[in-house]
Structure 1
């Protein structure tokens, strides 16, 4: 059996261990304090980690549903106190936020940016190691906030809009999208429609926890269309081989120590 093929039993073991919950509590205890003469309890902070190559979902204390993509983490309180509901994301997540006009929902992301909503459905891709943060709005309304020249800038998104923010340059780009490709991952699907190869391999790399090395830089802008529903990695890559001159191979390098397998595209 090829070492690169996923086996059913291994998938089940991986999925059992795919999600780690880590309680983060100040002084390792619940803090009890007094407010207006009444005893109050501060919330615990929980952190959900999803292993590379896996996805997971959870329901927050306010009934908001969150889907987490490969290699993502979400920190959130055991209950929402005060006038806002705030969570911290590193990675990619799809949110179905429970409406509450009196308590704004805030998603903090790397690079001093955040999303503010009252109730809506949207996708965020904000991996700390990436040089872009992407927000896709499916339904409702969100505000994207980021720091620029010691001040906070705010951009409002409408449904079917996609925002791409580059922290290094503070550039923001807005485009139209159906959102189908951006949110397919939560159903274990990969969908691309006239999409550049470089962008496709970014999605495939997250899904299967592999790293791609593109030897021929001219291939990066080649565009493809396809839909895969929980298919083996090799079948996805064969799609490019059948429909173009693109070839691929696993890179065997014993000196390279990383949990990700590497694949050369040429």
Structure 2
């Protein structure tokens, strides 16, 4: 069967404009398609984020089977394809890690100040809050490599490394009771010549409060000991019993001041 089509010849200038319009439409379509693909690519590469607010804790199981316990005011970031090409996470705050062994794909934790902690299969705790003067890593089991652009250190079990962010220096020490590093998981505080200023940061994160001092020298008072923080009032009372301080509390704000005679 044959069909005959009626055709109409367009003027040459109209043909030229149609050709130009066709090219423009194709270019726009490719631009839109490229933009859509780029948006899809960017969306697929977005990090997964686990954020823990003040006064809270959280547990996370990563795709490779590794487990992470996050302390208050902490965040853990990792890519959607975690475990396929690498096992890299970013930590802000404090976390305890139980890493599944995989020698061919080391587990890497990145913190502030470009500090990198590399593990194969191990248990360790990292504390890296944004406003703290140091970043600490404590190894409970296995082996850790801690490094940045300045130097590299290897940790054995029952060792702790501290990176002092102001002086940009490392110090490594032996820990008598390595479990003290994770006492926070059982709602306990352990202080070793810790200033009240640093203790206040812990209390703010733990109880979702704000703390101020009547005078700057109060922040420099040091404390050592172990406290079971079954209540905030218990912690505050213990602090004031062993020092010449008192505190007042208005809603969620606490003020430390010197005791008046």
Place the TM-score, normalised by the shorter chain, in its bin. 0.7 to 0.9
Whether the 8 Å CA contact 2:118–2:146 is kept in 1: the answer is yes
Of structures 1 and 2, the larger Rg is shown by 2
* Cα 1:265/1:233, change in 2 over 3 Å: farther
* Cα 1:78/1:244, change in 2 over 3 Å: same
Match of 1:13 in 2: none
Pairwise CA distance, 1:194: 4.7
Distance in 2, matches of 1:138 and 1:238, equals: 32
What is the root-mean-square deviation of aligned Cα atoms in Å?
2.7
Q: Give yes or no for the alignment of 1:164 onto 2:156.
A: no
Distance in 2, matches of 1:172 and 1:55, equals: 29
The structure that is helix-richer by fraction is 2
Match of 1:250 in 2: 249
Pairwise CA distance, 1:157: 1.1
Match of 2:237 in 1: 238
Match of 1:176 in 2: 174
TM-superposition CA deviations, 1:51-84 (whole Å, max 9, x none): 1121111100011110111111111133434553
Q: Give yes or no for the alignment of 1:211 onto 2:220.
A: no
Aligned length in residues: 219
* Gaps in structure 2 of 5+ consecutive residues: 1-36
Distance in 2, matches of 1:164 and 1:115, equals: 12
TM-score of the aligned structures, taking structure 2 as reference length: 0.73
Distance in 2, matches of 1:164 and 1:265, equals: 31
Whether the 8 Å CA contact 1:107–1:116 is kept in 2: the answer is yes
Whether the 8 Å CA contact 1:57–1:68 is kept in 2: the answer is yes
* Consecutive aligned runs of 4 or more in structure 1 exceeding 4 Å deviation: none
* Gaps in structure 1 of 5+ consecutive residues: 1-25, 32-41, 253-259
Pairwise CA distance, 1:261: 2.8
The structure that is strand-richer by fraction is 1
